[in-house]
Structure formats: C-alpha cells, structure tokens
Amino acid sequence: MRIKQILPYLLQPFLIAFFPIMRIYTFNIGEIPILHLFFAFITILAITSLVFFTTSLIYKNFTKGSFFTSLFFISFYSLDLAIRHILKPIIKKTNIQILDIFRVKHLLIISLLILIFVAIKIYKTNNIKLFRTKTLFIFLTTLYSITIIQVIIEYRTIAYKHNQTIIRYNKQNEQFQKKLSQCARNIKKRIATKNMPDIYFIVLDAYPTNKHLLEYFNYDNSDFTNKLRKLKFNVLQNSLSNYNVTLYSLPSILNMNYLPDNIEYITQIHMWENNNVEFFLKELGYKTISYKHHHQFPSQSHKKISFVGYLKKELNEFFFGNFNLVHRFFQWNAILSQAVFIAKIKTTSEKTLRFNIKQKLSILKQLPLEAGPKFIYMHLVCPHTPHIFTENGDIFSSSNSSLTGKEQFVQSVKFINKEIPQIIQTILAKSTNPPIIMIQGDHSGWASICSSTIAELDIDFKKANSMIQKNPSFPFEILFACHFPNKQQEDVNPNLTSVNGFRFIFNHYFNINLELLKDKFFFFNHKENIIPEIKIETNK
C-alpha cells in the first residue's frame, strides 16, 4: 500500500492524542506560553509514538497499531468525560451504595480490561479492511480546522484588546510617569544615588491580617506582628488589598494604580513586568532584582541567563510548576489523577516549590551584600496553597495529612512566621545603608476558606459571595508592615490600601507629593469571568 493511502491511518492516533491539548490552548490563549505548548506536543508525541509503534510491532501491522492507539486515547478521554459529567452527578443525587463501583479506580480497571479484550480481538482478526476507515480521519481534520480557525480568531481578538488597552492605559499613565520622572530629578538634586536605601518588597501570598486569622482560622497571630514591631516595623491593623487575586492585585500595587476594565491576562502580565514602581526607581538610579512566584529556580533578573539555563528553567516549570499546562491537565483528568506516576509528578512538583521557597529565603539573606541602591521584589507562595511545610520547615504533603484545610493554612503561616524575623534581622545587620522594607500580603486567605478541596483551590463562589455579604472586606484583609531607615513612622493610616502602598512609601521617604487614590475594591470571579466592585467603607 502506498504511503499516501496509509497516511490517514498513521496520523489518526496522533490527531486524537493532540486534540485535548489544542482545546485547552484555545480557551487559554495568552495564559499558556507558546514554548510550553511546544513542550506539550513533544511529550504527547513521545507517548503516542511509544503506544503506536509498540502495538504495531506486536500486531506486525501499522493499520492495526493505529486503530488500537486511536481506541486507547478515545477511551482514555471519554472515560474521564463520563466520570465528570455523567456518573458523578448520578452518584451525588442518588447516593446509592451500589454505584460505588463507578469510582474512578474501578472504572479504570474496567476500561483496561475492555482494552485488553479489544487488543486480543484485533490481534486475532485477519481482515485488515475492518480497521481502515477514513471517516474518523475526516472528522478529526474538520475538528482541527475549526480549532485552528478559533485559535487564530481568539489570538487576533486578544492581541487587539491587549494593544487597545495598553494604548489607552499608556495615554492615561503618561502624565503620572512624567510626574515620577520630575520627582526623580528633584530627589537626585537632594540625595546622592549612592546614599539611597535599598528597598525590599516582600510579598507573602495570601497572608491576611491578624483579625482575619483570628476570625476565620481561629489563630492568634499577635506574636509575629509584635516581633515585627520590635524590629521597628509599622504593622497596619486594617490594611486591605484592592483586588482578591494575585494577577490583579500585584500589577495594581506595582503600578500604584487601578487596572483597566476588562483586562486580558497578557495585559496583566505586561503591566506586572512594566510597572511604575520600577520605572520611578530606575529613574532614581536603582537596579531591580526581581523574583517572580512562577520562577521555579530563582535567578536574578539583572543577571543574564544562558539559553540552556532558560530551557532548563522552562522545562522544570512545564513539568513541575503548580500553575502550568501539565499540572492543570492532570487536575482536569480524573484518570490521570489516579495514576501512580502522576502522584510522583505531584510529589516532585511540591519538592520543586519547596526548593524554590527555601532558595528565595536564603537569597534574601545574601542580597544586602549586592551593590546598591537596589529594589528587591520577592514573591513567596506562602501561606498560599499548596501547603508544603510543617511549622518547623520539615517536608509536608497535604494529600497524606489528616489536618483540615484551615489547619494546614495556619501551619504554613507558622512556618513563614519563623523565617521572616530572622531574615529581617540579617538584612538590617548586613545593609550598608539602612533599608526600606515592605512585607505585604496580596490578598486574604479567602480562597482557602471557600475551597471545597484542600489540595487545590476549587472555589465555592456562592460561599464566597455569602461571606462577602456578611463582611465585604473578607477577601481583601492583608498583612501590611513597613520599616523606614533609622526610625519608626507613627502616623501611617491603619486603613491604607495596597494601591496606595508605594505612593505612601515614596511620599514619606523621598518627600514627594503623590496623590493617594480613592479606595476601590474588586472581587474577581474566574468561573463567571466577572469582576464587580465591592463597596467598603474605609476610615481615612
């Protein structure tokens, strides 16, 4: 048979295997790096090729191998679909014990037995024509054509929205940056660059106020905040973030402004990377040392990284990161979540994140020795999930623990509470010029409270909305502590919100006059893709 005739049968299993990744990418354009999509295709290609060529060798026929591989992936994906959309609702409504047979592990065994039976039947069948059908191939190519058209349209739409949003924002932001530039020129006339203090911005992801911890987690955190006060920190009692999630909160904090309406993911990232704080400090002669939360192997942004090092970092993030394509695909797929090797990947992922946090904590102690002045932005995914440390810093895994979600959150708080005072003492002792230090949460612990599972944040937004009705500030209550060189500032507004954090810091230390913005609060519901404003009365 000519290659042109058998090509559809050879391509068929690969098209089936690749399709879910294509669909995931279609609905997440802008959120999934192109390089990670390439890694995904290479990984799927390797797995599909292994199944295809192994079965083809066993059958001594490529057509049979193609047919079985196609069935393998169809059953793999459709079984998961059946579990998530058909059987789980039935089990939930009926609560009949006999339906326990439909648990994932049992379905997996049944599925494997059926595949073995089909494999034997294929092996015994001599009529090759039974396995040669172009109908499925035509159907798959049609689906791919539609998907590719969707990708092109969605990409162009997002790119257009992104460009238009950036153009509008830049116009609005132009006057503010001109003012920052003028302020920087005036400051340099008064203060020599070499005498300016290092500025540390330490973000503890999801770290709430003492009031929030006591009310919702039944934990008294006053010992930690008292330690900070002894180190000459102002700890604000009622500080609030202006957004309830990291991807909105941090770009807003670093730009000292509210984000545009209906902002796309890629626009958030753009504003995160190209922000007003770094712009202003660069004008003053600062260098930025930035450690983003998604960097699995911390590397200083001001130092060049080799191409091999870059690939190593991205591959590590692709396979073991907690916010990536592979990780989300494993969560989405109930069959995959039951596999032993997936548990190994999850363990490796937690190990990588654990190394990431430990490494960042260690680097913080070394940074005072770097030549300044410098702006250090350190983002630690703690006490945010996944909870991977005991309070003493030992290895912890939520999947093997009897602790409740709230208890695990408190355990993560206790861990980071022990680390931060030691780090601050080291920074203060080693710094040539006394530094400015900000320690801040980016949102409260609301997601852990409203999550239906411990390991992952499967958020119950009905519960979240109900709690917001009772206490509108519930998602926004954050730790905010600031330290100024040689003195403790007494007149900090205890209700200062995060969008005004850097405005206040710069006003106070550099004696400039940036207007403090009116407080506004926005709650992002990613399931409904809405971000309504929440009305909260704050005492100015």
Once rounded to an integer, what is the mean pLDDT over residues 340-346? 55
For residues 514-537, give the mean pLDDT: 83
**500 — pLDDT class (breaks 50, 70, 90):** very high
Residue with tokens 């941090």: 250
Amino acid at the residue 256:
M
The CA-based diameter of the chain, rounded to the nearest angstrom, is 90
pLDDT at position 442 over 80: yes
> What pLDDT score does 301 carry?
45
Residue 44, pLDDT > 90, answer no
Give the residue, 437 or 164, on which the prediction is more confident: 437
Asked whether the beta carbons of 375 and 502 are under 8 A apart, the reply is no
C-alpha to C-alpha distance for 87 and 99, rounded to whole angstroms: 9
pLDDT at 43: 83
CA 402 to chain centre: 26
Quote the pLDDT of residue 395.
Answer: 86
pLDDT tens readout for residues 381-432: 899 988 889 999 888 877 777 888 889 999 999 999 999 999 999 999 999 8
pLDDT averaged over the chain?
A: 79
**Which is higher by pLDDT, 311 or 495?**
495
> By percentage, how much of the chain surpasses pLDDT 90?
35
Whether 540 has a pLDDT exceeding 60, the answer reads no
Question: Are the CB atoms for 76 and 114 separated by under 8 Å?
Answer: no
pTM of the model: 0.77
Q: What are phi and psi of 537, to 5 degrees?
A: -85, 120
- Looking at residue 130, its pLDDT comes to 56
Q: Is the model's pLDDT at 98 over the cut of 80?
A: no
Q: pLDDT at position 419, please?
A: 96
What local confidence, expressed as pLDDT, does residue 100 receive? 42
Is residue 383 reached through a cis peptide bond, with omega within 30 degrees of 0 on the bond before it? yes
DSSP string, 305-355: --HHHHHHHHHHHHHH-TTSHHHHHHHH-HHHHHSHHHHHHHHHHHHHHHH
* Percent of the chain residues topping a pLDDT of 70: 74
135-190 vs 501-510: helix axis angle to the nearest 10? 20
Residue 492 pLDDT > 50, yes or no?
A: yes
Are residues 191 and 66 in contact, defined by beta-carbon separation less than 8 angstroms? no
pLDDT at 318: 59
pLDDT at 143: 73
Instruction: Quote the pLDDT of residue 526.
Output: 72
Q: Which residue has the tokens 């990744």?
A: 21
Residue 109 class from Cβ within 10 Å (0-12 exposed, 13-18 middle, 19+ buried)? exposed
Domain boundaries defined on the chain: 3-133, 198-304+346-534
CATH code that applies to domain 198-304+346-534: 3.40.720.10
Position of tokens 């499925």? 136
Least confident of 275-284, 503-512, 528-537: 528-537
Cα 376 to Cα 118: distance, rounded to the nearest angstrom: 60
Cα angle, residue 29 at apex, residues 26 and 30 outer, rounded to 5°: 175
Cβ atoms of residues 479 and 439 within 8 Å: yes
Higher pLDDT, 184 or 86: 184
| pLDDT in the model for residue 111 | 66
The residue ranking higher by pLDDT, 86 or 166, is 166
Q: Which residue has the tokens 């999947």?
A: 399
CA distance 141 to 149: 12
Residue 297: what pLDDT?
43
Range among 5-9, 42-46, 132-136 rated most confident = 42-46
Rg of the Cα atoms in the chain: 27
Residue 109 has pLDDT above 80, yes or no: no
- Non-local (6+) Cβ contacts of 130 within 8 A are none
Give 271-328 pLDDT, tens digit per residue: 888 899 999 999 999 999 988 654 444 444 445 556 566 566 666 665 555 445 555 5
Better-scored residue on pLDDT, 344 or 247: 247
| Out of 135-144, 262-271, 384-393, 437-446, least confident range | 135-144
Summarize pLDDT for 247-285 with one digit per residue, the tens.
Answer: 899 999 999 999 988 777 777 778 888 899 999 999 999
